[in-house]
Amino acid sequence: MKDRLLRAPRHAVAAALACALALTGCSSGSSGADTDTVDVVAAFYPFQFVAERVGGEHVHVSNLTQPGAEPHELELTAQQIASIGQADLVLYQTGFQAAVDEAIAQNTPRGAIDVASIVTLQDPAGSIDLTDGEEDSEGEHDEDGDEFTKDPHEWLDPQNMITITNAVRDRLSELDADHADQYASNAETLVEQLQQLDSDYSTLSSCQQKSFVTTHAAFGYLATRYGLNQISIAGLSPDEEPSPARIAAVQQLARENGVTTIFYETLVSDKVASSIAGDLGLTTDVLDPLEGITDESRGSDYIEVMRSNLAALETANQCG
C-alpha cells in the first residue's frame, strides 16, 4: 500500500487523503480526479491531442486554452494557475504564451515538457518584410506588433509532432511505469499516422503554384517542410490589424504569384481575407492553424484537420 501511494500521481494521493477526511463525493468516476490517472495539463490544442492519444485511458488531460479561444494572448484564471502547480505533467512551449511561462516559473509542476527545448524553432519566415520596399516602417515587423523572436507554430510540421509524441511517451512512462507498454503502443500508432500524414503532404512538391496567402503567419514550418511559400496578411499573431500598405503588398504578391485562393481561419474573423479576395476576384477557403478545435473545424482532431488543410492547399495551388 505504501508502495502504491508513493507511485501514484501526486494529485491522486491528495484526492485519496481528501476522500479519507471528507468521506464524501469520492466514488463517482468523473474525469480522472479520483483515480490513479496521470494529470496532464496542455497549454493548447495540439499538445492536448498528443497527450490524449498517447495517454489514452490512463491520463486525464485538461487544456488551458478553451475550445474556440485563441492560444495567442492566453490569460489564465487563478484556478488554471493552481492546476499547473498540481499537475503531474505540463506540456507547453516557452516564448509562445507568456501567462503559461510565468505560471510555471512561479508554481513548478511535478513534470513538464517545454516543446521549445525538444523541437528546433525557426526564425519567422514568409511574412512580408515591408522594410525592403517603399515603406518606411519603424523596423522589421514592429509595426505588426510581433513580439516573437522565433516562429512558435512548430506543430504544423507533422515531423515535429512525432518528436513531441515520443517525448510525451517517455515522460508518461517515467511517471506511470505500470502503463509504459500502453503508452509505447499508443505512441507507435500515432507516429505511424503522423508519418503517413507527412508522406501525403510531400505531394505538395508537385504543386504548380508555390505561394499561398494566409490570415496570420502560422504556416511557416509547413511551407518550409513542403517547399511552399507563405504570404501572410497579418504577422505571427492573428489579432493584428494589417496596415493598408501591408494589404496592398499582399494583393500585389498574390497577383504576381498567380494565387487562386485567400485562406482564412476558423478562430479568427475572415473580414480582411474576404475583402482581399473580393478585390482580386479570388475565392476564399479555410486553412486551419490548429490552434484550437471547435464544431466548425473541418475535422474532429489534428490528423483530420491537417488532411482538410492538405486538400485545400492541393486545390488552391493546383497540385498532383
As a whole number of angstroms, the distance between CA 233 and CA 250 comes to 6
Instruction: Establish if 218 lies at the interface with Zn ion (CB under 5 A).
Output: yes
Judged by beta carbon, residue 207 or residue 273, the one nearer Zn ion is 273
CA end-to-end span of the chain, whole Å? 61
Quote the least distance from Cβ 263 to Zn ion, whole Å: 13
Amino acid sitting at position 67: P
Judged by beta carbon, residue 55 or residue 235, the one nearer Zn ion is 235
* Window of 40-48, 177-185, 212-220, 223-231 that interacts with Zn ion by CB under 5 A: 212-220
- Angle formed by the axes of helices 244-256 and 271-280, nearest 10°: 50
Quote the least distance from Cβ 165 to Zn ion, whole Å: 21
Name residue 39's beta-bridge partners.
60
Residue pointed to by grid coordinates 508518461: 172
Quote the least distance from Cβ 205 to Zn ion, whole Å: 25
Quote the least distance from Cβ 291 to Zn ion, whole Å: 5
Judged by beta carbon, residue 175 or residue 286, the one nearer Zn ion is 286
* Window of 124-132, 163-171, 210-218, 263-271 that interacts with Zn ion by CB under 5 A: 210-218
Name the grid cell of 90. 505540463
As a whole number of angstroms, the distance between CA 222 and CA 192 comes to 19
Instruction: Establish if 287 lies at the interface with Zn ion (CB under 5 A).
Output: no
3-class SS at 249?
helix
* Window of 109-117, 216-224, 249-257, 298-306 that interacts with Zn ion by CB under 5 A: 216-224
Instruction: Establish if 156 lies at the interface with Zn ion (CB under 5 A).
Output: no
Short-list 213, 236, 215, 238, CA closest to 124: 236
Query: Given the rule CB under 5 A, which residues bind Zn ion?
Result: 218
